Amino acid sequence: MQIIAGPCVIESEQLLDTVATEIIRLNKKYNLNIIFKASFDKANRTSLSSFRGPGLEKGLTMLYDIKQKYGLPILTDIHESYQAKPVAEVADVIQIPAFLCRQTDLLVAAAQTGRIINIKKAQFLSGLDMRYPVEKAHQSGATDIWLTERGNSFGYNNLVVDFRNIPEMLQFTPTVIMDCTHSVQRPGAGNGVTGGNREFIPSMALAAKAFGATGFFFEIHPNPEKALSDGTNMLPLSQFEDVIKTLL
């Protein structure tokens, strides 16, 4: 079982250290290999005034420090093709955001790095539609490609998860991750920010496990109410262990 976890965006060194310390504790206690996730830039925020992160150079430096200090594998996302090469020098897994999963140049650049590629399924695509991003990445040199389910647009300001997408995507990749936190978002529903229903995160994880998901993605934060991005759909750090125990 693969688990990916970390804060939505890099807010501070202290936040990264706090989350990494808990991940290390859980790795040792449950014999796991949780991948540390954080974004250096949130390029798709609802509002221009929303916090985006420290940027590519500073953000990668901070992620490299976490990797060196704690020995954790790193996942972060890219939004532009030119970011693939420098990100690959730090990250073990390069993530393609859901809105960008059909961007050919982005997929090609990520695939050519030789890193694991995690492609998040777009909110407007079915599981079977993800065959084509996988083919683009394979044909561009990627050998290890993961897919991540994160729900589909359901009218305005809402998402719904069709769990049939998980076995469908398993037809052409052996690793399908359930994004248990972004799937409970209410996009744009928070008066200029994205809303969410974090109380459903544990249930999303268990339902995905029942449908055969091989991994789980959680955004976690010691105080989601004060988080600078995705606070309403992040799991409190104090509850993370209980969710892991339930999955195990």
The closest alpha carbon to 8, from 169, 235, 244, belongs to: 235
Mean pLDDT, rounded, for 66-82: 98
Residue 214: burial class (beta carbons within 10 Å; 0-12, 13-18, 19+): middle
What pLDDT score does 233 carry? 82
pLDDT tens track for 171-183? 999 999 999 998 8
Q: What percent of the chain has pLDDT over 70?
A: 96
Mean predicted confidence (pLDDT) in 90-111: 97
Q: What is residue 230's predicted lDDT score, i.e. its pLDDT?
A: 74
Q: What is the pLDDT of residues 130-158, one digit of tens each?
A: 999 999 999 999 999 999 999 998 888 88
Angle between helix 56-70 and helix 13-30 axes, rounded to 10 deg: 40
On the question of pLDDT at 203 being above 70, the answer is: yes
More confident residue, 199 or 84: 84
Question: Mean pLDDT, to the nearest integer, of 25-33?
Answer: 98
pLDDT above 60 for 190: no
pLDDT at position 54, please? 85
Q: Residue 28, class by beta-carbon neighbours within 10 Å (0-12 exposed, 13-18 middle, 19+ buried)?
A: exposed
Question: Mean pLDDT of all residues in the chain?
Answer: 93
**What pLDDT shows up at residue 28?**
98
Backbone angles phi, psi at 18, to 5 degrees: -60, -45
Phi then psi dihedrals of residue 3, to 5 deg = -120, 135
Token pair for residue 185? 């978002």
Integer CA distances (angstroms), 218 to 104, 107, 221, in order: 27, 23, 10
